[in-house]
Structure 1
Amino acid sequence: IPAMSTCASSPTLPMIGGDFMFANFPGDNVQATVSAEWAHQQGHESAYIIYSPDSQYTTMPLYFADVFEALGGEMLGQDTHSIGQQDFSAIATRISALDPQPDVIMTSSYEPDFPSMLKALRAAGVTAQVIGSDGIDSPTTFSLGDAGEGVVFTTAGHATEGSPLAEFNAKYEAATGNPSETVFNAVGYDLVTVVAEAVKAASGSTDPVAIRDALAELENVRGATSLITYKGTNGMPVREVTLIRVTEGERELIGQPSPTAELIPAPRMQ
């Protein structure tokens, strides 16, 4: 029976789940490649990563480090933390003591860890560019005030005027009475769209194997967030990655680049 995850992003997911496992979100190694390439293009030459070994997702910075070094950047160090940790003062103190300071700090931590980490870094005088991932695409990130200003993160999409995502958001608000405050609403819609397209491609069949085989051959399915392709993959989709900067508490679109294929690291089993 084919199984699909709305927003799991570990590229190891199909390796663990087998041929009937599919994801619907940009892989961790793909997101990390996009953010590392962006950091390099901005002229950042040194980086520091903070990650948690507690889950596959929170080890995304290891992929970032691989790509950043492949591009000629220097890794100045790394720290680990536990999921749910609230005190990041020791990590912030270690980074603030570095001379020179890193140009970039990359993490894939999310609430409640990320806000605490970010506030600790800024309180310690660390001014490095902070790069996060889709886990912080939430209203909390945009309510952090000065601490959150300038944070850049990868996510699954951004609504520009006339885009499919803007159209989805308008329909979402009309149906629910509330604006969509996160891209994950549209990502869920896209998963249903992908399943529907697979059923159509299987001539309307509800046979699990027929649907699985159709999923594996889908190309350029038009979702609200991106064109989505599974053909030629191992169950992780080929799709856009969006880069967002927090600017005065609002989303600023930096770009929606495709990663350089040869730079994408192989999936890393925890």
Structure 2
Amino acid sequence: MGSAPFEPRHIGYRSVFISDLHLGTRGCHADFLADFLGKMSCDTLYLVGDIIDGWRLKKSWYWDAQHDEVLRLILRMARSGTDVVYIPGNHDEMFRSWLPMKLEIAGVRLCQDAVHETANGRRLLVMHGDTFDSVVRYAKFLALLGDRAYTAALVVNRWFNAVRRRLGLPYRSLSAWLKRQVKGAVKAIDRFEHALADEARRRGLDGVVCGHIHHAEMREIDGILYVNDGDWVESCTALVEHPDGRLELIDWAERNRLSFMERRLAPVPARPVTCA
């Protein structure tokens, strides 16, 4: 008798935070993302900005079946009882004009930012983070120029990984590696992280969860927990909260290399989310 096909187990989390999907760009790893969304469940899903790349779509239209699948899975989660909170970023800033109306669209709630309480009682500020990026905030023209250079780097990244696939090697982000080698970029990331941690402290919270800079990180900054959930362009990462409140950054591309072997976790109801 032949063996039954392998089916990865479903993963249950209390909360999941993803950002910087950049749907509408060729750099978006919508296939990895659809795989992640299809193999997990959660009580609360935070979409922490730059979900749809309005900047890129204004210039040229790109949208494939995998992008459709990502949206379908998110809406299916909302219909199934997941509290889906959408916090627009700078690339999907067109939705920010809707924030005063406090809309809920197809079960997805729009918020400027939010406060999330973990199962073990930590209160975390959830925001995209671009308002603390001086280039985006004060010199949008420079940000758009940077966006062009970044897009070029992602093209190189695609070819780099096409070669790795032919060699039977797992996905690796060349663009993320290059960013870590540039001293100025490292300093800018550090300033950004401290600014976000200071904002959480100013609001009397225990930590902050953000996106924007495509650099997944979790660390303590002067007693404040700073977490960046990364992106789905360079690294394919997400922040997940386990039923006991433990936070973990996961790299889904890396887990793909490991055949997505996971232990099933029983979900625990999450507390209501408060838009800040």
TM-score, length basis structure 2: 0.29
Higher relative contact order (CA 8 A, sep 6+): 2
